[in-house]
Amino acid sequence: MSSVFFGINEIELRDICRHHIDTFESWSRRLIDELFRGKYGVDYFDYKISDEQPLVKNEVKQRIEKRMSDNPRRFPRKIDAILMEDIVYFFCRDDLYTDFFKQVLEPFFSGPNEVRSVLERTIPIRNKLSHGNTISHHEAEQCICYTNDFIEVFKLYYQGLGKERDYNVPVFLRIKDCKGNDVVREDSSYSWEKSFKHPLGPNVQLRSGDEYKLWVEVDSSFDSSAYDINWRVEYSINDLLAKGSGNEISFTATNKAVSYSPEIIVILKTKKEWHRFGKSDDWIKIRLNEVLPPIEDTY
DSSP 3-state of 150? helix
**Tell me: the pLDDT tens digits for 273-290?**
999 888 999 999 999 999
More confident residue, 297 or 119: 119
Round to whole Å and give the CA distance between 22 and 198. 25
Average pLDDT over every residue of 103-129: 93
- Asked whether the CA dihedral 288, 294, 295, 298 is positive or negative, the reply is negative
Average pLDDT over every residue of 190-204: 83
Q: In this structure, which long-range contacts are made by residues 148-154, counting pairs with CB atoms below 8 Å and at least 24 apart in sequence?
A: 148/20, 148/221, 149/108, 149/118, 150/24, 150/27, 150/28, 150/118, 151/23, 151/24, 151/27, 151/221, 152/108, 152/221, 153/104, 153/105, 153/107, 153/108, 153/109, 154/27, 154/28, 154/31, 154/104
CA distances (Å), 97 to each of 110, 170, 256, 287, in order? 12, 29, 57, 41
Model-wide pTM > 0.75: no
Round to whole Å and give the CA distance between 138 and 113. 23
**Residue 1 binned pLDDT confidence (cut-offs 50, 70, 90):** very low
pLDDT at 163: 60
pLDDT at 228: 96
- Which CATH superfamily includes the segment(s) 172-297? Immunoglobulins (2.60.40.10)
Say if strands 192-196 and 282-288 run parallel, antiparallel, or are unpaired. Answer: parallel
Q: Where are the domains of the chain?
A: 10-161, 172-297
